[in-house]
């Protein structure tokens, strides 16, 4: 069974600093997709970034980038130049067929 583990329940970072959120997953599949979603206090789920497992190049979206280590089954999210609006709960997700399996989430607080 596929599982997704986020080992950091809460993290904080100073504005303009860089922070990395960890995610590990377990699967026997060779081709799959991984996602990071953000849930701000409004509770609206927003897709942050997507990674295709067969691509070795790490995905990047503006200030957000991932460190994808397929052999280690690790998929961390790096947020550069953190902004107050980045304060949210972040979920790592693994695609399984038509469905996503989510981790428990990491609460990120950006401090001014």
Q: Which residues of this protein are in contact with another protein, per CB under 8 A?
A: 33, 35, 42-47, 50, 52, 91, 95, 97-105, 107
What is the CA angle 16-57-61, rounded to 5?
35
What is the smallest separation between the CB atom of 19 and another protein, expressed in angstroms?
20
What is the smallest separation between the CB atom of 98 and another protein, expressed in angstroms?
5
- 79 or 105: whose CB is closer to another protein? 105
What is the smallest separation between the CB atom of 101 and another protein, expressed in angstroms?
8
Burial 1-28 (b: 16+ CB within 10 A, else e): ebebebebeeeebeeeeebebbbbbebe
β-strand partners of 77: 21, 66
- 54 or 112: whose CB is closer to another protein? 54
- 15 or 26: whose CB is closer to another protein? 26
């Amino acid at each position: 069974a596929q599982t997704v583990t986020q080992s950091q329940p809460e993290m904080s970072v100073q504005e303009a600093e860089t922070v990395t959120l960890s995610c590990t997953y377990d699967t026997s599949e060779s081709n799959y997709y991984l996602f990071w979603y953000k849930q701000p206090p409004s509770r609206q789920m927003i897709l942050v970034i997507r990674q295709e497992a067969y691509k070795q190049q790490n995905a990047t979206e503006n200030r957000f980038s991932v460190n994808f280590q397929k052999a280690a089954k690790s998929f961390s999210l790096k947020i550069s130049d953190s902004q107050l609006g980045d304060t949210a709960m972040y979920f790592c997700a693994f695609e399984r067929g038509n469905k996503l399996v989510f981790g428990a989430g990491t609460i990120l607080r950006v401090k001014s």
